[in-house]
Structure formats: structure tokens, C-alpha cells
């Protein structure tokens, strides 16, 4: 049986800017939700304190996937996924 107390595990996530914005917005909703229990709101608040400030989050575009691309290139200029395998070969 494990001993009570803080977990020895620490998790690190690598998020794209768009994923960070979505995570921030979701956590803000949870922290403000009246139906959420106190512990859930507290944990959401603790995580929000670790994220960049509101000003930084507000500058993130929803389509920002974190890749460097020329100003005129957008997600529509890239293929939608890997090429399908050639099954006729």
C-alpha cells in the first residue's frame, strides 16, 4: 500500500501554443465553475498559476501549431497528414 502524501511523480507536457491556449481556457472554466468541488477548483487554480500570464495567452492564435512558417503560409498550405501507403506496388 502506498503511503499518503505528495506524489513523487512530476509530469512535463510539451504543448503547441494552440494546445496551451485551449488548456488555459479549459482550466479557467473549471476554476470558475460553481458546480465544481473546491478541490477541483483549487487544483485548476494551481495549474493556472504555472502557465504564462493572461497577456501572453491572449496573443496566441487558435491555429498556431508552434511551427515556424513564412508569414504567407498557413495550415491550408500543408498536407493534411501522411501520404497513404501504395497498396498497388
pLDDT at 30 (0 to 100): 94
The predicted structure's pLDDT at residue 10: 83
Confidence band, pLDDT 50/70/90 cuts, at residue 24:
very high
Q: How many CB atoms lie within 10 A of CB 70?
A: 7
CA dist 43 → 26, 38, 70, 80 (Å): 13, 9, 39, 36
Torsion angle of the four alpha carbons 7, 23, 29, 55, in this order, in degrees rounded to the nearest 10: 110
Percent of the residues in the chain that have a pLDDT greater than 70, as a whole number: 72
State pLDDT tens for residues 36-74. 899 999 999 999 999 999 999 999 987 887 776 655 455
Q: Is the pTM of this model over 0.85?
A: no
At 8 the pLDDT is 78
Q: Which of 28-37, 52-61, 72-81 bottoms out in mean pLDDT, i.e. has the lowest?
A: 72-81
Q: What is the pLDDT of residue 49?
A: 95
Amino acid at each position: 500500500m502506498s503511503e499518503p502524501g505528495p506524489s513523487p511523480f512530476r509530469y512535463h507536457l510539451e504543448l503547441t501554443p494552440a494546445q496551451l491556449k485551449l488548456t488555459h481556457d479549459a482550466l479557467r472554466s473549471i476554476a470558475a465553475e460553481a458546480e465544481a468541488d473546491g478541490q477541483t477548483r483549487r487544483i485548476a487554480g494551481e495549474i493556472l498559476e504555472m502557465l504564462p500570464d493572461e497577456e501572453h495567452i491572449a496573443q496566441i492564435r487558435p491555429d498556431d501549431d508552434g511551427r515556424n512558417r513564412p508569414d504567407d503560409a498557413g495550415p491550408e498550405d500543408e498536407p493534411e497528414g501522411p501520404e497513404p501507403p501504395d497498396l498497388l506496388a
